[in-house]
Structure 1
Amino acid sequence: MSFDRASSGRDRTSLYSEITSRIITELEAGRLPWVQPWGRSDVGAGLGLPQNASTGRRYSGINILILWGAVFHHGFSGQTWLTFRQALALGGSVCKGERGTTVVYADRFVPDEARRRARETGEDAQSIPFLKRFTVFNTDQCDGLPDALVTVPPPIPDGLILPQAERLIRATGASLRIGGDKAYYSPALDYIQVPRPESYFEPINWHRTALHELGHWSGHPSRLNRNLSGSYGSKLYGQEELVAEMTSAFTCASLGIVPTVRHADYIGSWIEVLRDDDRAIIRAASAASKAADYLLGFLPETEGDHGQHGQEAA
């Protein structure tokens, strides 16, 4: 077996840099990766070390921090993990569109040349340390696994999600995942992620967030076909954020939900969009009306305010 020392060294350096950058990001956000907030309402999993669901072996070292971070950010309900092949071997599979978490395996390797030299000189062969990366998936990301390996997340307390909002979300058929510490819509995979209602200082604001992301969902090419390709901070991104926020406001009003206002940091980003284009608010409001009408159209006529919001000129 040949061993490319130079390429291995570059890959190892890159992997060290990746992991270190990830930890720095956590620290800059005010989180200590080795002190995860277990027991908090937005963290589904309980206290414990991550382990492989197939072998029962616990992960160690930096992999503990990596996998804890994944549980925290994605809101997974348990600390058990599998490789793609292990999920298949257990009779299950990784759900379509799921992205795995990269973990590392540290070992040492003795090159063939070093072995030959050691035999000739009688000296000990010098080994080379290396890191190997591989991908694992939380058991929450898998289907068809044995019941014993499936973690059931705790139910959301009664009353935190208002029934009219729950009916609307269910009626749309949107794929909405509850958990983690971030709210977003994935256009590529066509699903919505929102934290649990308990993680909000005022749980009523969960509705504004969920309906904001549902507003983005309405813009998918198979629905209202808005341009969702804007990168963070771009004009196109800011315009779509305005549309989603107003869609949420119009839909909340139609359903009789009164969330609190957005914080000043969000408002500041919208001001930049409006200063740059004095027609942006008119286009955004028109698109938001179409989106709200589209969403409310999934409900029976007896629910919500289904009146047309008007079509202003763009």
Structure 2
Amino acid sequence: MAHARHRSARERTNLYEQITNRIIAELEAGRIPWVQPWGSAKASVGMPYNAVSERRYSGINILTLWDAIVSRGFASHAFLTFRQAITLGGNVRRGEQGIGVIYTRRFIPRDEHRRADIEGREPSGGIPFLKWFTVFSVEQCDGLPAHICEPPPPIPEGLILPQAEALIAATGADFRIGGPSAFYSPTRDYVQVPRPDDFFDPVNWHRTAFHELGHWVGGATRLNRDQSGVFGSVAYGKEELCAELTASFVCAALGITPTVRHADYIGSWLEIIRGDDRAILRAASAASKAADYLLAFRAETEIAANDDDPDPDPDGSMAMDGRIAA
């Protein structure tokens, strides 16, 4: 019995360590797993929930499942257990890796139950413990009922401005929309941003999209900027400043006017600029190169479109007003 209690305590400690280490890794990677800076008009947006009971996961499980949504590119916030998938007539696809989540329970000794029965009260006290179980995204399953795994609704028309949508498509970047976080993954070379209707002000989606594409442009196969800085380091801050200036330049070129960043972002940039009187010059120079790199895709698309068109003025009628074609 003593051995079993010792094993249980050790397993509980291991769970705490695993969760803590995962959060540390997120912070070191430059992501703050408990912050959603774009805000939301609906409390349920971006919150993971059980697809069967529709109950939201709570506590540390929110961070765990947000991490899975971001790192694996899930568009849905719905999860369920292997057994729940089978009960619904579906199945988890072979080879899919589940996500470990926890729930807390209290073990109440038999003697306490007996005393509570005698005294006519509810059992009290008990020994708290964590239990680990595995869930899967509905996107990792086949054969589930349509109402369980229905895709998210289409993005409302007009929230993504056409000039931005065209430029993003022209880059050919692996650009994913969905999930609770905005980031660029250097190792997997893709960009992910939330849906524009998850932002408090949807116009700010464009700044976030081009901020992350600013990081994408700095990737090893493109402008090859140094992106090795860890969260909180000067190198990381400089890369963030470069990406933010890139977003500003591209938005201006496209005629998009997002709102300003929060004060905490501005404060971190001030610290960098005050500590190095050439930092803003270097960042602006690098951002100009990145913006030009992105905007060049728009020019290539326009040239290609013109090349595909037949002669737009075969009879010369467009020159009838006396102007000379450039």
Question: Considering the TM-score relative to the shorter chain, is it more than 0.5?
Answer: yes
- Compare the two structures and name the one with the higher helix fraction: 2
Measured against aligned partners, the alpha-carbon deviations of 1:228-272 in whole angstroms (never above 9, x if no partner) come to: 121111100110011101110111122121222222221111011
Instruction: Assess if the C-alpha contact under 8 Å between 1:247 and 1:288 holds in 2.
Output: yes
1:295 matched to 2:294: yes
Change (3 A) 1:146 1:300: farther
Identical aligned pairs, as a percentage? 51
Counterpart CA distance in 2 for 1:246 and 1:93 is: 44
* In 1, Cα distance between equivalents of 2:169 and 2:292: 16
- Whether 1:216 and 2:209 are equivalent positions in the alignment is no
Distance 1:175 1:41 in 2: 29
Larger Rg: 2
Q: Is the 8 A contact 2:50 2:78 kept in 1?
A: yes
What's the offset of the Cα at 1:133?
A: 2.6
Alignment of 1:76-225 (within 5 A): 76-82=75-81, 90=91, 92=93, 100-103=99-102, 131-140=130-139, 142=140, 148=146, 150-225=149-224
Residue 145 of structure 1 and its aligned partner are, at CA, apart by 5.9
Residue 15 of structure 1 aligns to a residue whose secondary structure is helix
**Secondary structure of 2:184's partner?**
strand
Structure 1 residues 177 and 66: alpha-carbon distance in aligned structure 2, compared to 1, 3 A threshold = farther
Q: What is the identity, as a one-letter code, of the residue corresponding to 2:12? A: R
User: Residue type matched to 2:93 in 1?
Assistant: G
Cα 1:302/1:175, change in 2 over 3 Å:
closer
CA drift at 1:63: 5.7
Q: Determine the structure 2 residue equivalent to 1:266.
A: 265
Instruction: Output the amino acid matched with 1:170.
Output: A
Aligned to 1:40: 42
Corresponding residue pairs, total: 264
* 8 Å Cα contact 1:76/1:138 also seen in 2: no
Q: Describe the SS at the equivalent of 2:176.
A: strand
2-structure distance, mates of 1:215, 1:233: 19
The residue that corresponds to 2:249 in the other structure is: 250
Matches of 1:105 and 1:91, distance apart in 2: 25
Measured after TM superposition, the shift of residue 42 of structure 1 is 7.3
TM-score after normalising by structure 2: 0.63
Contact 1:93 / 1:145 at 8 angstroms: preserved in 2? no
The Cα of 1:76 is off from its aligned counterpart by 4.8
Note the residue ranges of structure 1 that are not aligned, 5 or more in a row: 23-28, 32-36, 109-127, 305-314
Aligned in 2, Cα 1:302/1:63: closer, same or farther, shift over 3 Å? Answer: closer
Structure 2 unaligned residues grouped into runs of 5+:
24-33, 108-126, 304-326
Q: Deviations over 1:140-198 (max 9, x none)?
A: 3x376667453210111111100111111122222333334432222233332322222
Q: Label 1:174 to 1:93 Cα distance change in 2 as closer, same or farther (>3 A).
A: farther
Q: Distance in 1 between matches of 2:283 and 2:141?
A: 39
Q: How far apart are 1:221 and its partner, in Å? A: 1.4
Contact 2:242–2:287 (Cα < 8 Å) also in 1: yes
Structure 2 residue matching 1:268: 3-state secondary structure: helix
- Residue deviations 1:12-42, cap 9 Å, x none? 14536877999xxxxxx799xxxxx998187
SS of corresponding position for 2:132 = strand
CA contact (8 A) 1:102 1:133 kept: yes
